[in-house]
Amino acid sequence: MLNALKKFAERDPRLKGIEPGFSGKDAKWAVVCSEDGRFAGIVPLGNPDDKKSKGRRFEKAPDLSQGELIAGGVTKSHFLIDSAKTVALLGVDPNDTSGAATKARAKHEYFVHLLQQASEAMPQLQAAARVLGDEATLAEVRRQMTDKKVKPTDKVTIQLGVGGPFPVESDAWHGWWRDYRKCLGGQPEEEEPQSEQAELPGVVGPARGKKPETGQMLDFITGKLSVPAKTHPKIRGLADVGGLPTGDALVGFDKDSFRSYGLDQSLNAAMSEENAKAYTDTLNLLIREQGHRLAGVKIIHWYDKPVPKDPVAAVDDPLAFLGEVSDEEKELHANEAVRKTLDAIRTGAKDDVNLRDNRYYALTASGAAGRVMVRDWMEGQFEDLVESITAWFDDLSIVRRDGDGIAAPPKFMAVLGATVRELRDLAPPFVAKMWRVAMRNEPIPREALAAALERFEVAVIEDNPINHAGVGLMKAYHVRLNRGGQLMIASVNPDHPEAAYHCGRLMAVLAQLQRAALGDVGAGVVQRYYPAASSTPALVVGRLVRTAQFHLDKLEGGLAHWYEDRIAEIMGKIGDRVPGTLTLEKQSLFALGYYQQLAEMRTKKASTAEEGKNNG
């Protein structure tokens, strides 16, 4: 996984020039300083009316790791971009002498100190240092920030003059910044010759006859000798799935059971500072621009080679079922686009973009107590992925509840939502498992079948519309359970071999018969008998069939004969022995038979047949 992230960084132009000590950052506001050191106002960056806007993106801003920030016991701040609380002491009471207030003032002083020091390389920064170092001017900065509803946590940077340049976008301070970082703790020390002392277990020994330099270890990504970074940058963007707003660590060891030979923090997965920076910057970029939140997890996926987008559905990415499409027409087109992509790969029509040799990578992650929890990792051939997504759509296909054709392909979250009362009830491990099922064409978990069946029964008993995605999920379970057999199709199957399926069909016919004979009677045969019939049909079916005779007597001859024929045909499929007790799998077959038979009777064809028999 880490190697795939590093390769992505090497080929993606957005990550060109990755370097430790630098990172892309957002700033929502700018403190404008004139060249002569006067405060010229507060200006918003980005769209101030968009509550979700993070402001303006600066791709190469100075960045300190957590180890550097706390090294030497000195309270430090970031350089050029930091919070309004740090830059201007916004939200800090001047009379507050608490530890938190004292720390905030120390960070502010350090921010101003960095501006003064960097002015040796970039003299324009001296003006910003004078503005932020003057108490009276700083009070005016805070007043304008308050008027513009700046929050203490909003990120703020410096602008030189109204409409002028941003120092963070200049490279004039880069050399000074590199030298400054070398003076901080928390960084790998300069390599020195290996001493004659005995080597510690876990530290790499001589390679090809040469002794490694002091502190060198085999790099976890490249396998080459390097000086490992003691701590790695944080992974950001997981705050909505259990992570911290300040970021979470992917690599780190703080428990004795993981600290072999005293190798703590990130040394048990040794990586050079450059490689650690490469994988974290790549993952942060992918989360920010391509990450999708699914319940309590975040899905991140990418490809070796770009996948062109379909101009109509705006997708050609086979993972579009995540939810990029927003209406039924586009969902249908997205499904067709996936099929066309598969056909094109097989016929060689898309050899111009080499999709046949393309590979996919998919990471499922969430946050947990300041750490990144990798719940799943998948990689494979692009063609296999397209085949799996095509199978996902096919296996979920189900007739509409009104019988008018096949229901639109459901979005991934619609399928998962059909297993719970509310989406917030979805457990992250279940979401990750279902994601793998869809991408790998794996069997549907039994727990998914049980949950979908429970929601189906609730809808039936309460006489609510039945969820297409839930029924499709039950159907997909049986399709994948009997791969190669033609037991389950999208619509009713009169030749299905299971008696439980036909018991469900019979229940649908009897419910429709009662409605035809008596109209809406409130709690009908379904509401009263469905739970018992779907679990122990032998105790109920005989009684319901006998009761049906009274309903038949109330119908006109043609319609009564039509229902009699349906009942006789289904009873013939059930055979001489009605099942006594149904397992979970057979209860779901009962549900599928009930649903598909009900949909079949609601089609225009069935309505025409009823009318013809009634008139005849």
Query: 270-281 pLDDT, tens per residue?
Result: 999 999 999 999
Model pLDDT, residue 524: 75
Contact 383, 345 (CB under 8 A): yes
CA distance 76 to 248: 20
Model pLDDT, residue 275: 93
Query: 412-427 pLDDT, tens per residue?
Result: 889 999 999 998 899 9
CA distance 513 to 565: 12
Model pLDDT, residue 318: 72
Q: Would you call 146 helix, strand, or coil by DSSP?
A: helix
Output the pTM of the full model. Answer: 0.76
Q: How do strand 359-368 and strand 371-381 relate by DSSP bridges?
A: antiparallel
Model pLDDT, residue 353: 54
Instruction: Kindly tell me if the per-residue pLDDT of 334 is higher than 70.
Output: no
Model pLDDT, residue 409: 85
Contact 80, 61 (CB under 8 A): yes
Contact 297, 253 (CB under 8 A): no
Query: 426-440 pLDDT, tens per residue?
Result: 999 999 999 999 999
Query: 525-560 pLDDT, tens per residue?
Result: 888 889 999 999 999 888 888 888 888 888 887 888
Mean pLDDT computed over every residue of the chain = 85
Q: How many residues does the chain have?
A: 616
One DSSP character per residue, 13-79 reads: GGGTT--TTEEEEEESEEEEE-TTS-EEEEEE-S-TT-TT---EEEEEEE---HHHHHGGG-----S
Query: 180-207 pLDDT, tens per residue?
Result: 998 885 444 444 433 333 343 333 333 3
Mean pLDDT along residues 293-322: 73
**10 Å Cβ neighbour count for 366?**
24
In angstroms, the first-to-last Cα distance of the chain is 70
Half-sphere exposure of 239 (CA within 13 A, CB side): 8
Mean pLDDT along residues 360-379: 93
Sequence-distant (≥ 6) Cβ neighbours of residue 307 within 8 angstroms: 316, 317, 318, 353, 355, 358, 382
Instruction: Name the pLDDT band for 121 (thresholds 50, 70, 90).
Output: very high
Instruction: Kindly tell me if the per-residue pLDDT of 408 is higher than 90.
Output: no
Model pLDDT, residue 550: 83
Model pLDDT, residue 36: 86
Instruction: Kindly tell me if the per-residue pLDDT of 394 is higher than 50.
Output: yes
